[in-house]
Amino acid sequence: MSSREKRVKRSLYRCFGKRIWDIIMLLVMCPIVVPLACLIASFVRWKLGSPVLFRQERPGLLGRPFIMFKFRTMRSSLDKNGKLCSDKERISSFGKKLRSTSLDELPEVINVIRGDMSLVGPRPLLMKYLPRYSKEQARRHEIRPGITGWAQVNGRNQIAWEEKFRLDVWYVDNVSLFLDLRILWMTIFKTVKRDGISKEGHFSSPEFMGATDSSAESHVTSE
C-alpha cells in the first residue's frame, strides 16, 4: 500500500470509522460496564456522599469545551477559612483505589456516547492549558480526546509533559483501527498492573505551565 493510500485510509477512519467503532465497542461492553458503573456509584454515594459524579469543563475536538464526567474520589472538606483542603487531605482510601484501577474514569463512557470523546485519543486536560500549548502541542486537539491514549500506555503520569504531548501528536498522525486495538489491549494490561498512575514524589501531576516550562511543582485539583 502506497503512503497516499495509507493517508486516505487513516483519514476515512478518523472521519467515520472511529466513531462507528466506538459505538460498536460500547454496545459490546454494555453488559459489563452498566452493572459495574451502578455498583461503583452506590459505593461512591455510601463512602463520599453526593454528588456521585465529578463534572469539569475540558477541551474536546478543536479545543471546544465539553463537560467531562468521572466518579468522585475526593471529599468536599473545607479548611478553617472555608476553602477546599488540599488534594492529599481530601482524597479517601476508597478514592485512591478507584484511581489506581482507573475505575473513576468509567463515567466517561457517557461522553463517548454523546460524541464528546472517543475510547482512544489524547486525554482531555484543563481548559486553562489551551493558551499554554505550542503550535505543535495544540495539534493534540485535531482529534477527539479519549478515555485512554498512546501517552497513557507509554508512561501516563510518569513522563514529562513534552513527551506526553509528543506521543499525543504522534497518535494524531498515525491513528488507525489497529493502533486503537493495540492501545485498548495495552490499557487493560497497564490497568491490571496499576502502572504509571502517578509521578514519583507527587500525589497528582504537576501543573503544565507552558510549552517552555513543564517542570513546575504546583498542582491542580482535577480529580
- Summarised one tens digit per residue, pLDDT across range 177-220 is 999 999 999 998 888 776 655 554 444 678 898 876 444 334 44
Q: Is residue 74 part of a domain?
A: yes
Residue 219 lies in a domain: no
For residue 50, give its domain range.
Answer: 31-193
Alpha-carbon distance of 148 to 118, in angstroms, equals 9
Tell me the three cell numbers of residue 114: 454523546
- Per the prediction, the chain carries an average pLDDT of 85
User: In total, how many domains does the chain have?
Assistant: 1
Please report whether residue 25 resides in a domain: no
**Residue carrying the nine cell digits 491514549:** 149
Distance CA 36, CA 33 (A): 5
Query: Is 203 within the bounds of a domain?
Result: no
Q: What is the mean pLDDT of residues 152-166?
A: 89
CA distances from 118 to 22, 54, 112, 142 (A): 6, 19, 5, 13
Residue 14: inside a domain: no
Ramachandran region, residue 96 (left: φ > 0; alpha: ψ -120 to 50; beta: rest): alpha
Per DSSP, helices labelled H in the chain are 3-12, 18-48, 87-90, 93-100, 108-114, 161-174, 177-193
Question: Is pLDDT at 111 greater than 60 in this prediction?
Answer: yes
Contact between 170 and 142 under an 8 Å Cβ cutoff? The reply is: no
Q: pLDDT digit string (tens) for 12-22? A: 888 889 999 99
Under DSSP, is residue 206 helix (H, G, I), strand (E, B) or coil? strand
Q: Write down the pTM of the prediction.
A: 0.84
Distance CA 145, CA 86 (A): 28
Whether 206 is in a domain gets the answer: no
Side-chain half-sphere of 195: how many Cα atoms within 13 Å?
A: 13
218 within domain boundaries: no
214 is a domain residue: no
Q: Can you give the pLDDT at residue 119?
A: 97
Say if residues 64 and 89 touch (Cβ distance below 8 Å). no
Q: Which of 54-63, 112-121, 188-197 has the lowest mean pLDDT?
A: 188-197
